């Protein structure tokens, strides 16, 4: 860091639950939510794993690994037998922590030498696919760095809360408007006015 620069303090915040989907014809693939040294300087880390499993295409000896501080850091991965290129889908429901002081975070996609893998992150509260990438094998293992805007992990929650509050206030306002009593002059009040005019 250059002399006189001020380091921005980290501000880690918890995200809603995201579903990581990996749809693949590779025999293994992995996402690392960590830096190469396992120190989370990448701005995102796993806070909690809610669930994980296969969507389709798995065999009895296929394996999923998801968790914090595993051998290579915070990861989500699947492993099939070498040369098993049958189509497979797996998922992991994860709550992350992101450093909101950063404009973007980065992750690593790790894929085998053959097959094609589609990676997706879905906000489970909104159902929105916030990020997608597709990687095809080139004959050797690839470690690919990908950057994702931090706001995609936290902005939807804030916007959704504001929207819900706004809709609630509008609903209350409309209910008040349509339930204000309407005062109409009845026959008795009209007759009283006629009597006052005649006797006045």
3-state secondary structure (DSSP) of residue 146: strand
The DSSP bridge partners found for residue 97 are 14, 45
- Residue 81 pLDDT class (50, 70, 90 cuts): confident
Burial call 49-84: b when 16+ CB within 10 Å, e when fewer: eeebeeeebbeeebebebebebeebbbbbbbbeeeb
184's CB contacts (< 8 A; 6+ apart) are none
Q: Which of 6-10, 112-116, 166-170 has the lowest mean pLDDT?
A: 166-170
The pair of structure tokens assigned to 8 is: 């921005």
Residue 79 to residue 187: CA distance in whole angstroms: 85
Q: Who wins on pLDDT, 179 or 63?
A: 63
Q: Who wins on pLDDT, 115 or 71?
A: 115
Q: What is the pLDDT of residues 111-161, one digit of tens each?
A: 988 999 999 999 999 999 999 999 999 988 999 999 999 999 986 544 444
Most confident residue range from 14-28, 64-78, 148-162, 170-184 = 14-28
55's CB contacts (< 8 A; 6+ apart) are 21, 89, 90, 91
């Amino acid at each position: 860091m250059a002399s006189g620069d001020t380091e921005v303090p980290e501000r880690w915040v918890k995200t809603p639950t995201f579903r990581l989907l990996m749809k693949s014809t590779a025999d293994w693939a992995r996402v690392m939510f960590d830096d190469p040294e396992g120190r989370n300087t990448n701005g995102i880390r796993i806070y909690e794993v809610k669930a994980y499993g296969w969507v389709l295409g798995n065999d009895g000896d296929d394996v999923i690994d998801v968790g914090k501080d595993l051998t290579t850091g915070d990861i989500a991965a699947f492993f099939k037998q070498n040369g098993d290129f049958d189509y497979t889908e797996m998922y992991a429901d994860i709550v992350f922590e992101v450093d909101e002081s950063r404009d973007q975070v980065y992750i690593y996609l790790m894929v085998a030498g053959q097959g094609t893998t589609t990676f997706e992150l879905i906000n489970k509260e909104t159902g929105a696919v916030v990020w997608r990438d597709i990687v095809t094998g080139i004959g050797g293992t690839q470690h690919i760095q990908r950057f994702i805007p931090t706001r995609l992990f936290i902005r939807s929650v804030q916007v959704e809360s504001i929207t819900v509050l706004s809709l609630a206030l509008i609903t209350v306002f409309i209910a008040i408007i349509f339930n204000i009593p309407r005062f109409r002059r009845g026959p008795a009040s009209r007759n009283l006015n006629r009597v006052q005019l005649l006797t006045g």
